[in-house]
């Protein structure tokens, strides 16, 4: 590709004001890497919304092409084991933050960042799953490793109508877990029930100051919210339960006590997806290929054109997006 389009974030160094616009680039404009990928599909994650809107300092060098998730076809490779024609996924590793990301028709990356696209998925389906589904599966794997099973009791999912939450509800229900979905959007109850939630819990129930210990309700949890919601979930875990913490929509602060940990043996499991080792990535995508319900995946996915990217970024940080967005980059 001699020339291609990309979404470019620039910043006025004098005022620190950020601007976003479509640009026409050449391969010479790309950053270092040993694999060139023709990007076919991407998605809009909460982090992408923060980057494009500038709500938080996600972007750490300028100019920057945002987008932390891509799927496409290798067009050139100088990396052993990666060949032209390979269908691949790339997420994390600083894409859209320190390295030019997915909102570009051509991407150049380090071959070590690449995950082969499972044969079970198209590039559009892989981006319907994206970092959100991959993070949800890493969370499930962590709960399983801790010994949480469908027989252990209910698993609560916070931020359930968002990307990670929707994927977690769909995957957990497919695996046989009783799922309690937490949301602040009353109009999304039918949607969450269609994904497999057995019970809906209002987010307001978890937003006040947490008790040292609350009633034991949950054997496991996947928390994409943080803050007071996470503190309350911790206080309501059953003895020996585990919470997989993977998000911070409510902020970075966590005000809690040691009571759940020393009196009930609750485990708080941190889920980091951006720099996960290749073996963990492959394990997660292998399980996604086996355990993802295609009908539910389609039901929680909205396809969108390139032209809607900037508006979608604003919508997702304002809490207006349900489930997953798939962007046709081509």
At residue 191, the pLDDT reads 94
Structure tokens at 34: 């040993």
DSSP letters of 70-114? Answer: EEEEEEEE-STT--TT-EEEEE-TTBTTTB--SSBSEEEE-GGG-
Residues 90 and 182 in one domain: no
Do residues 234 and 243 make contact, with C-beta atoms less than 8 angstroms apart? yes
At residue 38, the pLDDT reads 98
Residues 113 and 211 in one domain: no
Residues 197 and 81 in one domain: no
Q: For residues 296 and 32, what is the distance between their CA atoms, to the nearest angstrom?
A: 38
Alpha carbon 212 to chain centroid, angstroms: 30
Q: Is residue 227 part of a domain?
A: yes
CATH of the domain at 313: 3.90.180.10
Q: Domain containing 196: what range?
A: 131-270
Report the relative pairing of strands 35-43 and 106-109 from DSSP bridges: antiparallel
Q: For residues 230 and 207, what is the distance between their CA atoms, to the nearest angstrom?
A: 9
State the pTM of this model: 0.94
Q: For residues 124 and 65, what is the distance between their CA atoms, to the nearest angstrom?
A: 20
CATH of the domain at 178: 3.40.50.720
Residues 141 and 266 in one domain: yes
H-helix segments, the chain = 46-53, 123-146, 163-174, 189-195, 227-235, 259-263, 278-291, 294-299, 309-317
State which of 225, 250, 270 marks the end of a domain: 270
Q: Is residue 32 part of a domain?
A: yes
State which of 249, 270, 291 marks the end of a domain: 270
Q: Is residue 142 part of a domain?
A: yes
At residue 251, the pLDDT reads 83
DSSP conformational letter for 118: P
At residue 225, the pLDDT reads 96
Residues 90 and 177 in one domain: no
Alpha carbon 288 to chain centroid, angstroms: 14
Residues 62 and 163 in one domain: no
Q: Is residue 122 part of a domain?
A: no
Residues 200 and 266 in one domain: yes
Residues 179 and 266 in one domain: yes
Do residues 143 and 222 make contact, with C-beta atoms less than 8 angstroms apart? yes
> Which residues have C-beta within 8 Å of that of residue 66, sequence separation ≥ 6?
7, 9, 20, 48, 51, 52, 59, 96, 101, 102, 103, 313
Q: Tell which residue, 175, 225, 191, has the closest CA to residue 323.
A: 191
Q: For residues 219 and 27, what is the distance between their CA atoms, to the nearest angstrom?
A: 51
Residues 135 and 225 in one domain: yes
Residues 138 and 260 in one domain: yes
State which of 224, 249, 270 marks the end of a domain: 270
Q: Is residue 79 part of a domain?
A: yes
Residues of the chain with pLDDT under 70: none
Q: For residues 89 and 233, what is the distance between their CA atoms, to the nearest angstrom?
A: 33
Q: Is residue 277 part of a domain?
A: no
DSSP conformational letter for 298: H
Q: For residues 183 and 165, what is the distance between their CA atoms, to the nearest angstrom?
A: 9
Q: For residues 310 and 54, what is the distance between their CA atoms, to the nearest angstrom?
A: 12
Q: Is residue 258 part of a domain?
A: yes
Residues 58 and 163 in one domain: no
Burial class (CB in 10 A: 0-12, 13-18, 19+), 16: exposed
At residue 249, the pLDDT reads 85
- Structural domains in the chain (count): 2
Q: Is residue 285 part of a domain?
A: no
Residues 165 and 103 in one domain: no
């Amino acid at each position: 590709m001699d020339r291609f389009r990309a979404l470019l974030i620039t910043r006025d160094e004098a005022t620190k004001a950020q601007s976003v616009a479509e640009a026409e680039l050449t391969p010479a404009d790309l950053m270092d890497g040993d694999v060139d990928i023709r990007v076919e599909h991407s998605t809009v994650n909460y982090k992408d919304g923060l980057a494009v809107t500038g709500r938080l300092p996600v972007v750490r060098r300028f100019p920057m092409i945002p987008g932390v998730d891509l799927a496409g076809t290798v067009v050139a490779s100088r990396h052993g084991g990666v060949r032209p024609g390979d269908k691949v996924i790339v997420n994390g590793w600083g894409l859209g933050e320190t390295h030019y990301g997915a909102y570009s028709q051509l991407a150049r990356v380090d071959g070590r960042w690449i995950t082969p696209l499972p044969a079970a998925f198209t590039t559009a389906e892989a981006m319907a799953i994206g970092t959100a589904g991959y993070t949800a599966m890493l969370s499930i794997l962590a709960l399983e490793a801790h010994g949480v099973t469908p027989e252990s009791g209910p698993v609560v999912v916070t931020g359930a109508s968002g990307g990670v939450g929707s994927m977690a509800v769909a995957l957990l229900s497919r695996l046989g877990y009783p799922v309690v979905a937490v949301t602040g959007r009353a109009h999304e109850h039918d949607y969450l029930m269609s994904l497999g939630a057995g019970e809906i819990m209002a987010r307001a129930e978890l937003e006040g100051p947490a008790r040292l210990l609350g009633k034991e309700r949950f054997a496991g949890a996947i928390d994409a919210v943080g803050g007071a919601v996470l503190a309350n979930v911790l206080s309501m875990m059953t003895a020996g339960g585990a919470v997989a913490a993977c998000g911070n929509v409510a902020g970075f602060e966590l005000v809690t006590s040691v009571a759940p940990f020393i009196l009930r043996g609750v485990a708080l499991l941190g889920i980091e997806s951006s720099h996960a080792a290749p073996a963990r990535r492959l394990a997660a995508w292998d399980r996604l290929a086996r355990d993802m319900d295609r009908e539910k995946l389609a039901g929680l996915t909205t396809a969108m054109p390139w032209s809607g990217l900037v508006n979608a970024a604003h919508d997702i940080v304002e809490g207006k997006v349900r489930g997953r967005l798939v962007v046709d980059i081509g």
